Structure 1
């Protein structure tokens, strides 16, 4: 069943239950209200008649009063308890005698009196308050009130039914407005499933649905970017792997066929060995990147001192710097109290990739610094005095197989970013005041 029909059905069921309970409650209360209202009317009429009798109480007036009661269809009787005499009545004498024998004429605790199979609502008034012996008893058949009750209930049910129909129609309209954006959002998700990213459009919605729609669009953009990155990765990977393989194949076939002999053969074997090493390095870095993206337990986190991390980095990068006749300087070293929680080996590898990259591109100097920022924030910078990075490469520098001039595999900085991201940090690149590139790592 569609969500719209489920919501409408749920709202209708709830409305029916509430209306039914309200109807039952009203039905049970309305008769009591009618009885109380009828007693008040009988009391008012009785007091009016009592006032008339008190002004001129004689037999002639009582007879005229009896005729008036018959004409007004009022049911009552007057009874003198002292003499046990029925003074007047518009009710059957047998009914009055039964009531006099059964009920206490001086008590107001019984509003309903029975006469055979019928019930009457009664109200009692003393003709003389100082002498309650003479009682006027007014009665109304309960059937008359029940007829009024049924008429009221029928009208109430009619109003409830009309109200329910209006409420159901309004509910259907509101749920349609609620469900329609969800239906369109489902179509958007189907397009994402089929990778039709260019066909995605914003939907008219508000509140949480609009927030979900924004999240879906952001997810689609991120998914599209990821798919494009993966496509470029496989294209670049195939290209990077194909180049050394073609070199190896060419020299191997030349040696086998006798094209390369003696010194050329030895040189070809050296090239093959170097290309195999390069190919092995590319494959190892690709495997590491895959593990960094997919395996959670590859990280063994521990508390690392920042100053110790930088010292280890410089010690390992110094041989390459000496080989290329370049210097590494460390300044603004962070206090020994500053630490970061990460995998020490992998974070050292990330730092080495950044520093050796700076050493290769520097003219003479690489500067490393670490300073404490706001709160517990630590900022590490690696700068060089080289030519810097081309503007068109900077936005893509940390992507896989993106290499600047003089780059090796194009995976080193991608590995550094993956490790730093997993360590809860951020890495970015810009221009240095020394003239070259400036890598900034923030923990």
Structure 2
């Protein structure tokens, strides 16, 4: 069953339950209100009759005139003598008098609903003054009249409920249609993403939580497209980087096998083959390291690291390259520079960035460790603007780059350590790499 049908069915069932409970409660309350209202009217009529009688004669001693007057009224009533426990007058058939007397309704002043056979009556008792007469006027109204009014009201209420229910169901259909339509469109967009047709993705108009889902879906598609493109670029670059040394090795190996080279060229070829094998080994090892960094969280063993000690270790590793290039390496560390990361891997990341800076620097490189931040900058040519968005991707390298994996490894280590790495122009004139960690 579709979501819209489920929502409409649930709303309709809930509406029916609410209307049923409401109808029952209102039906019961209406009967009680009608009984109270009828009793009040009987009380008023009875008091008016007694008042008229008293004004005409000033007493009720003349029972014949009193009875004649009551008989002329189009009312169901009894004249009851409490002192003698006797009905003096009745406008109703004698069978009702016998039934009411048998049930002791006349003597029981607390009973307000009298029953005779299958019929019920609402009653009101009015004491006739002076009290010495002991007379009491009892007026009755059959419940059938009240039930007729109640049924008429209930029928109208049912009609209102039906009209209101139909209107509510139509409104529910419109609202659920408005709610489900974006979900249906999102389902269609998911099919497009499943088929990897990213250029056909369209934004879906929605509000509230559905809008958040739509935004998440769009971001996921964008990231998935970027990831797939990066993977394609990775395999293309990887195949190229691996193919180049393999072709060199193959060329020299075939030349040596076929005796094409003389002794000097043979020695040169062997040296070149060793160099290319070493380069190939480096690329493969870095590719394996990247795969481990992306997939094995257990390879990270975070610990508290002193920033000054970390910078000193980076300097020790970079010293041979600094001496060979003949550049100045400036460094400083704040006493509050404490980091929480895997020391060996963070040292590897900083070394990669530092070696990269040294290779591109003209005369100087500066390393600074501050509170929750490490910066490495040089005075070289800097990173071209079009290369900045891709500089940390695999096999992306500058003019003097080596494998194109160093910065990718550095980014993976920093991000797995809970940090972030960015690059921007340096005041020294070259590139400035900024590593920030969360507090």
Task: Specify the alignment match of 2:51 in structure 1.
Answer: 51
**Equivalent of 2:69 in 45, 62, 65:** 65
Aligned-pair distance for 1:68?
2.5
Q: Are positions 1:389 and 2:383 aligned together?
A: yes
In 2, the alpha carbon distance for the partners of 1:116 and 1:352 equals 105
Residues 114 and 430 of structure 1: is their aligned pair in 2 closer, same or farther, counting only changes over 3 Å? closer
Task: Specify the alignment match of 1:264 in structure 2.
Answer: 265
Aligned residues: 433
Task: Specify the alignment match of 1:375 in structure 2.
Answer: none
TM-score using structure 1 length:
0.92
Task: Specify the alignment match of 1:308 in structure 2.
Answer: 309
Q: Are positions 1:421 and 2:420 aligned together?
A: no
The more displaced of 231-240 and 424-433 is 424-433
**Equivalent of 2:406 in 387, 396, 412:** 412
The more displaced of 246-255 and 89-98 is 89-98
Residues 334 and 103 of structure 1: is their aligned pair in 2 closer, same or farther, counting only changes over 3 Å? same
In 2, the alpha carbon distance for the partners of 1:132 and 1:199 equals 100
In 1, the alpha carbon distance for the partners of 2:201 and 2:408 equals 30
Aligned-pair distance for 1:60?
5.7
Aligned-pair distance for 1:144?
2.4
In 2, the alpha carbon distance for the partners of 1:263 and 1:250 equals 16
Aligned-pair distance for 1:347?
0.5
Task: Specify the alignment match of 2:132 in structure 1.
Answer: 131
Q: Is the 8 A contact 1:106 1:124 kept in 2?
A: no
Aligned-pair distance for 1:292?
1.3
Task: Specify the alignment match of 2:174 in structure 1.
Answer: 173
Task: Specify the alignment match of 1:121 in structure 2.
Answer: 122
- 1:126-159 deviations in whole A, cap 9, x for unaligned? 1215336111111122222223222222222222
Unaligned runs of 5+ in 2: none
RMSD of aligned C-alpha atoms? Answer: 1.9
Report 1:130-209 matches (<5 A): 130-131=131-132, 133-209=134-210
Report 1:420-439 matches (<5 A): 420-439=414-433
Q: Is the 8 A contact 2:7 2:176 kept in 1?
A: yes
In 1, the alpha carbon distance for the partners of 2:45 and 2:214 equals 71
- 1:325-384 deviations in whole A, cap 9, x for unaligned? 3332223x211x421111111100001111111111222322222233xxxxx3322222
Q: Are positions 1:95 and 2:96 aligned together?
A: yes
Q: Is the 8 A contact 1:313 1:352 kept in 2?
A: yes
3-state DSSP class of the match of 1:401?
coil
In 2, the alpha carbon distance for the partners of 1:65 and 1:19 equals 50
- 1:146-184 deviations in whole A, cap 9, x for unaligned? 232222222222222222111111111111111111111
TM-score using structure 2 length:
0.93
In 2, the alpha carbon distance for the partners of 1:394 and 1:120 equals 94
Q: Is the 8 A contact 2:337 2:370 kept in 1?
A: no
The more displaced of 313-322 and 131-140 is 131-140
In 2, the alpha carbon distance for the partners of 1:347 and 1:84 equals 109
- 1:84-143 deviations in whole A, cap 9, x for unaligned? 554332111232244245425364311112223322222111121533611111112222
Task: Specify the alignment match of 1:368 in structure 2.
Answer: 367
Task: Specify the alignment match of 2:374 in structure 1.
Answer: 380
Q: Is the 8 A contact 2:123 2:141 kept in 1?
A: yes
3-state DSSP class of the match of 2:121?
strand
Task: Specify the alignment match of 2:4 in structure 1.
Answer: 4
Task: Specify the alignment match of 1:296 in structure 2.
Answer: 297
Unaligned runs of 5+ in 1: 373-377
Q: Is the 8 A contact 1:39 1:121 kept in 2?
A: yes
3-state DSSP class of the match of 1:128?
coil
